[in-house]
Structure 1
Amino acid sequence: MTEQGQVAAGFFGSVDEVAARLAEVGYLASPAVATTVYLADRLGKPLLVEGPAGVGKTELAKAVGRVGAAPLTRLQCYEGIDESRALYEWNHAKQLLRITAGREATGTEDPAGGSAGGWDATRDDIFSEEFLLARPLLTAIRRTEPSVLLIDEIDKADVEVEALLLEVLSDFQITVPELGTVEATHRPFVVLTSNASRELSEALRRRCLFLHLDYPDTELELRIVRLQVPGLDEVLADSVVRTVAALRALGLRKAPSVAETVDWARTLLTLGADTLDERVVRESLGVVLKHQDDVVKATEKLITEATVATGNARTVVHRPAAD
């Protein structure tokens, strides 16, 4: 139960349960991630997850939803998004039809038939629930069961949108002037994601627990690949993870994401590859790199290093060292 008397999501009973249940749905969480998710769940606080693209920020929210078999409401932020796309708006076309129908019924241009009381009734009618279009934030607040609210890429939205979020994230309520204040009975588990393309306001940060996600170390990423692509040879999986780690160290225009590592592993399994040789790399590198200058730079670097290390340009990466 929160300070406002609202029921928190309550998906998890302990930090260990967070790690275990997320793993069951395919998300491997580090101890820091599991602890922060547990605190956000128990305290009913929004969770701000920041980090480079492709490290699992959005997937974390989806995984929490899968754990709780809870509906997920997603607000995808973008430049220019406003209140009408985030909170709610009125169905103006339907309102106009209602007014037109009133005019036809009274036989005058006045839908209220010249009566002040009639107009009050018409106004109350067209600003009722029937004409309200709930957008993601209002939809999430009105849910009566545990749910997940994902506010994705908040850094792409304007500062004005952050101000709209403050009421939602402080008291989990939204004020609709024509209808009153809508208050959550069950607080959703809220995840805000940011790629840090701009600095978020301190007011927004104060309302959240903070979690920074970076690219996983090779051990954790190897576990992720083995979990997501169980049919891949373990030695080849190790080679994929080590190669991706090397690519991220090259200062590329767009470093490979964890999802792209998994995609590459699936690609190699589909191709029936048993090693990362020069031909396989050249033919499949587009799965992890999406800019031609990155592909050229990475191909030259990988093959040059392999040639120096092994004397064989066909072997692109090292086999894992023996224990």
Structure 2
Amino acid sequence: MSPTVSPANRLLRESLQRAGYLADADLATTVWLAGELQRPLLLEGDAGVGKTALATALAQAQGAVLVRLQCFEGLDLAQAAYEWNYGRQLMAIRLHDGQLGTVKESDLFSREFLLERPLLKAISQDGPCVLLIDEIDRADEAFEAFLLEVLADYQITVPEIGTLRARHIPRVVLTSNATRELSDALRRRCLYHHLDYPTLAREIAIVKTALPDADTRLVEEAVQFVQRLRSEDLTKIPGIAETLDWVNALHRMSHHTLPDDMAVLLTTLGCLLKTREDRFGLGADRARQLIEGRRKVGVAEKAQANAATS
């Protein structure tokens, strides 16, 4: 017996699909609940499984502004939330000294002299907003501690001004490649979903949605090849974006199936394999073995039929 799906949940899933993102029932439910409960959504998984793409599609589906904070080691408050416009403050001081007398400190440290960075920009939006905090695992633990206030109360405290609260609660999506363990405090404030590489049928459906003009047989053969390739001992496993790039490249080269000539196929693998070791570690013989693995004919048609009935 299939689980009961609310009309709003189904509507969200359909709107994501129109935005080019095929979410399964579990993911769509978690995204919907995060919106209903006004809680941040933490997406964890390997690079290339579609975490960032979900936030982009969600913003498009809801007609919301997308604000992105790309995390990195050493990310601080001035880069993530706000900083003072010192140049403008200095100009105001000189203007007042020359014409109006001494400027008050309270006048210098007011909202008009505040430069909005992604976090403050997101909570300052008057309309719908999706805040993407990308690769939070790359930021330091100290930054996580500051982020807790934003995620818990959707507000930022500026000592010189006070607490700035969200005008419109943003949809917050955090992504993590699990390069380090996130704090329990951060996880407690979020709804969680783990994204894995898609199944064969789902990845075929994703590619067909993104590249409808590509030949069905080419899509099936290419996706099967990539799925087998992910089982190899690779430095960097190709994600969905790499699959799309490869199929698009083969389609633009007027291929309707995977090339029989391994020399031709190998010249296109720069779309999939992004390190020297991976690129030159896969030879013609091994590539042919991957192609000649057990085929599943008609997977695309089966995927489309399942999507139509779900």
TM-score (norm 2): 0.89
Task: Identify which of 267, 276, 282 aligns with 1:298.
Answer: 282
1:318 Cα deviation from its structure 2 partner: 5.8
1:170 Cα deviation from its structure 2 partner: 0.5
Where does residue 311 of structure 1 map in the other structure?
Answer: none
Task: Identify which of 260, 282, 285 aligns with 2:269.
Answer: 285
Please give the alpha-carbon distance, in whole angstroms, between the structure 2 residues aligned to 1:318 and 1:69.
43
1:39 Cα deviation from its structure 2 partner: 0.4
Q: How does 1:134-283 map to 2 (within 5 A)?
A: 134-276=116-258, 277=260, 278-283=262-267
Task: Compare 245-254 and 293-302 and name the one that shifted more.
Answer: 293-302
Please give the alpha-carbon distance, in whole angstroms, between the structure 1 residues aligned to 2:182 and 2:147.
12
Q: Structure 1 residues 105, 232: CA separation in 2 closer, same or farther (over 3 Å shift)?
A: same
Contact 2:215 2:256 (C-alpha < 8 Å) held by counterparts: yes
Q: Structure 1 residues 142, 321: CA separation in 2 closer, same or farther (over 3 Å shift)?
A: closer
Contact 1:247 1:298 (C-alpha < 8 Å) held by counterparts: no
User: What is the aligned length?
Assistant: 292
Where does residue 296 of structure 2 map in the other structure?
Answer: 320
Amino acid at match of 2:118: P
Give the match's secondary structure for 2:233: coil
Q: Structure 1 residues 322, 217: CA separation in 2 closer, same or farther (over 3 Å shift)?
A: closer
Q: Deviations over 1:249-301 (max 9, x none)?
A: 00200011101101111101100112222133111011111112212233356
Please give the alpha-carbon distance, in whole angstroms, between the structure 2 residues aligned to 1:291 and 1:199.
26
Please give the alpha-carbon distance, in whole angstroms, between the structure 2 residues aligned to 1:53 and 1:130.
39
Please give the alpha-carbon distance, in whole angstroms, between the structure 2 residues aligned to 1:318 and 1:13.
40
Please give the alpha-carbon distance, in whole angstroms, between the structure 1 residues aligned to 2:229 and 2:78.
42
Q: Percent identity?
A: 47
Please give the alpha-carbon distance, in whole angstroms, between the structure 2 residues aligned to 1:66 and 1:247.
32
1:80 Cα deviation from its structure 2 partner: 1.1
Where does residue 40 of structure 1 map in the other structure?
Answer: 34
Q: Deviations over 1:167-187 (max 9, x none)?
A: 100011111122111111321
Q: Structure 1 residues 150, 127: CA separation in 2 closer, same or farther (over 3 Å shift)?
A: same
Contact 1:53 1:257 (C-alpha < 8 Å) held by counterparts: yes
Q: Structure 1 residues 180, 303: CA separation in 2 closer, same or farther (over 3 Å shift)?
A: closer
Q: Structure 1 residues 185, 95: CA separation in 2 closer, same or farther (over 3 Å shift)?
A: closer
Please give the alpha-carbon distance, in whole angstroms, between the structure 1 residues aligned to 2:111 and 2:73.
29
Please give the alpha-carbon distance, in whole angstroms, between the structure 2 residues aligned to 1:187 and 1:213.
25
Q: Which consecutive unaligned segments of at least 5 residues does structure 2 have? A: 1-5, 300-310
Q: How does 1:28-177 map to 2 (within 5 A)?
A: 28-105=22-99, 112=102, 122-177=104-159
Please give the alpha-carbon distance, in whole angstroms, between the structure 2 residues aligned to 1:295 and 1:83.
40
1:104 Cα deviation from its structure 2 partner: 2.7
Give the match's secondary structure for 1:150: strand
| 1:19 pairs with 2:24 | no
Give the match's secondary structure for 1:54: coil
1:321 Cα deviation from its structure 2 partner: 4.0
Q: Deviations over 1:18-60 (max 9, x none)?
A: 2211111100001111110010011100000011111110110
Q: Structure 1 residues 301, 192: CA separation in 2 closer, same or farther (over 3 Å shift)?
A: farther
Please give the alpha-carbon distance, in whole angstroms, between the structure 2 residues aligned to 1:78 and 1:44.
26
Amino acid at match of 1:156: R
Q: Deviations over 1:109-153 (max 9, x none)?
A: xx62xxxxxxxx521111112211011111111112121110011
Rg larger for = 1
RMSD between aligned residues: 1.9
Q: Deviations over 1:215-260 (max 9, x none)?
A: 1011000000111111111111111001001110002000111011
Q: Deviations over 1:2-31 (max 9, x none)?
A: xxxxxxxxxx96221122111111000011
Amino acid at match of 1:291: T
Contact 1:22 1:63 (C-alpha < 8 Å) held by counterparts: yes
Amino acid at match of 2:281: K
Please give the alpha-carbon distance, in whole angstroms, between the structure 1 residues aligned to 2:275 and 2:16.
33
1:105 Cα deviation from its structure 2 partner: 3.2
Amino acid at match of 1:284: T
Contact 1:239 1:318 (C-alpha < 8 Å) held by counterparts: no
